[in-house]
Amino acid sequence: MSYSFNKLFSSITESTIWCEPAETKVVWITMLAKADAKGRVWGSVPGLANLARVSLEECLAALETLKSPDQFSRTQDHEGRRIEEIQGGWRLLNHTYYRNLRDEEARKEYKREWAAKKRAEERGQSVDKCGQSGPQSTQAEAEAEAEAEADKTPPKSPSRGKGKPAVFIAPDLSEIRTHWAEQKLNGDPEEFYNHFENCDWKLSGGRGAKMKNWKLAASNWSKRQAVFDPRSGSNSNGKLALPRNDEGLQQFAEIHGLSLPRSGETYPQYRGRLNAEVEKRNAQSGRS
């Protein structure tokens, strides 16, 4: 069970991968669906074969095809190779290219929604497009902390004769990624950008005041993120720790040999079962 979303471009039907056997196409689409924000797919060959509903031999053949050069591929940055092996899984080599295409389309969609919202407000209507996707608990906590910090630091009054106060200018995604890397912040900068971009860079889920300092908000966002590496799944004490985001639960379970979600099971129910298994395993490791 997973509510994560990865866009599948319709142009895949025009690519050379569409000329491959059905099993190879299914394995590739499965990997696209399971990739995280950095294009990484965690798991084993048997686990991937099970997810794609193909045999182990068919999965191995598909992976060999995806790792091999393709002279007819439209993206030749890696001689047409689509994946490479990494510790704990694989990396999609052309993920960044297609992610940037997706981001550009997302910005265009946001601008369309913003224009529609402004027109609705002029007609005295209310349109709320903010915070419709994904779990928002961590985001809400980060916003609340950012808002509290903003209250502690009142804006300076402009000096007489020097004009109006500086107007907030929203950063673009590349600027946020650079800041994230320089400051070594926790969490996903793209998630931070998408959340506040959809909220018109306002606090309290788009209902509060306009943001004044996005770098302060980014710092507070980082503080609220769980420091979690799905390959280790450990907290600062070296014990297994569940990821804070629900989308990472199944991946965590697959990597550490824990039970997978049951049919019809909700995230809270699944998290409760996994938490009991993690506590039992941590207790056993503590006695050994």
Among residues 200, 193, 198, 196, which one has the least CA distance to residue 177? 193
Asked if residue 255 has pLDDT above 50, the reply is yes
Note whether residue 53 is domain-resident.
Answer: yes
Is the same domain home to 138 and 212? Answer: yes
Is 114 inside any structural domain? no
Q: Tokens for 185, please give them.
A: 């912040």
Q: What is the pLDDT of residue 49?
A: 93
Tokens of 188: 């996903």
Asked whether residue 143 falls in the same domain as residue 218, the answer is: yes
Q: How far is CA 275 from CA 89, 225, 241, 259, in A?
A: 24, 19, 8, 11
The answer to whether residue 90 is domain-embedded is yes
CB of 249 within 8 A of CB of 206? no
Q: Does residue 245 share a domain with residue 198?
A: no
- Rg (C-alpha) for the chain, rounded Å, is 22
Residue 115 lies in a domain: no
Q: Of 96, 119, 140, at which residue does a domain stop?
A: 96
Of the three residues 74, 96, 118, the one that is the final residue of a domain is 96
* CA nearest to 133, candidates 189, 193, 198: 198
CATH label of the domain that carries residue 42? 1.10.10
Span 111-135, pLDDT tens digits? 677 777 777 776 664 444 454 444 4
Whether the model pTM is above 0.75 = no
> Helices (DSSP H) in the chain: which residue ranges?
22-34, 45-52, 56-67, 95-122, 137-152, 173-183, 189-198, 214-224, 249-256, 267-287
**Phi/psi at 92 (5° precision):** -80, 115
Domain span at residue 286 reads 228-288
- What is the 8-class DSSP label of residue 40? E
Q: Which of 225, 245, 267 is the last residue of a domain?
A: 225
10 vs 21, higher pLDDT: 21
In a domain? residue 203: yes
Residues 177 and 247 in one domain: no
With beta carbons less than 8 A apart as the criterion, state whether 28 and 62 touch: yes
Residue 111 lies in a domain: no
217/239 same-domain check: no
Query: HEC states along 48-91?
Result: HHHHHCCCHHHHHHHHHHHHCCCCCCCCCCCCCCCEEEECCEEE
Are 59 and 135 part of one and the same domain?
Answer: no
3-state SS of 144-184?
A: HHHHHHHHHCCCCCCCCCCCCCCCCCCCCHHHHHHHHHHHC
In the chain, the percentage of residues whose pLDDT exceeds 90 is 19
Residues 138, 213, single domain; the answer is yes
Please report which confidence band the pLDDT of residue 102 belongs to, taking 50, 70 and 90 as the band edges.
Answer: low
User: Which candidate, 283, 258, 284, places its Cα nearest to that of 272?
Assistant: 258
pLDDT at 54: 93
Number of independent structural domains in the chain: 3
Find, among 211, 213, 206, the residue nearest to 121 by Cα.
206
Closest CA to 50 of 40, 59, 41, 42: 59
Over 70: is that where the pLDDT of 152 sits? no
Name residues whose C-beta falls within 8 Å of residue 56's C-beta, 6 or more positions apart in sequence. 45, 46, 49
Does residue 123 sit within a domain?
Answer: no
Do residues 220 and 275 share a domain?
no
Instruction: Give the C-alpha separation, 171 to 160, whole Å.
Output: 29
